[in-house]
Amino acid sequence: MVIPSCCFHPLPVADVIRIIDKPIDPNVLRRELFDPAAGAYAGFEGWIRNENEGHSVERLEYEVYAPLAVSEGEKVIAEAKAQFAILHAHCVHRTGMLEIGECAVWVGVSSAHRDEAFNACRYIIDQVKVRLPIWKKEHYADGNSGWVNCERCAEHAHPSAVSL
């Protein structure tokens, strides 16, 4: 698919992390990463699903300590820029009540080449999941609810800590 240059706004691109309480629009966010030097874009969208560990999930609720989430998220993006040859990176995470199918987190990276974009995107989402003060509460179909810890997230962020 060819996207005409008229669809991109020549705004200065800043590498950012945002915590928002409105729906995430990946198309708008992806356009913010446009750079004439970019030959690649990689993105990740985390959606709310209807099942977790055998429980039927109706919705999720996110709570975030925004000041620390933003400052730590900025560190994660700076680390990604230092480790990978990328041009720009953004991460947006929702807060509040989300319904099945909604996008809870979005990460986008632009770079000259695809390998750097893929690797940086994976690094950012893995680090965000373990380092940012974001808590997830699942609301189940049976009326119960519970706060969830993602232990698999830590395994991805620290592969050497995984026991074989």
Q: Which segments of the chain are extended strands (E)?
A: 16-20, 40-47, 51-52, 55-64, 86-94, 96-99, 103-111, 134-140, 145-148
**Is 79 inside a domain boundary?**
yes
The pTM of this model reads 0.84
Distances in Å between the alpha carbon of 52 and those of 56, 61, 139, 141? 7, 14, 11, 12
Give the pLDDT confidence score for residue 35 in this predicted structure.
95
**What is the per-residue pLDDT for 157?**
62
Kindly report the CATH number assigned to the domain that includes residue 41.
Answer: 3.90.1170.40
Report pLDDT for 162: 38
State which residues form the domain around 70.
27-142
In 10 A of CB 32, how many CB atoms? 16
Query: Quick one: pLDDT at residue 13?
Result: 54
Structural domain contains residue 2: no
Ranges in the chain, pLDDT < 70? 1-14, 150-164
> Is 131 domain-assigned?
yes
The pLDDT score that the predictor gives to residue 6 is 45
pLDDT of residue 15: 78
- Residue 134 in tokens: 């974001």
Q: Which pLDDT value is given to residue 3?
A: 46
Q: How many domains does the chain have?
A: 1
Q: Is residue 163 part of a domain?
A: no
Report if residue 22 sits inside a domain.
Answer: no
The verdict on residue 64 lying in a domain is yes
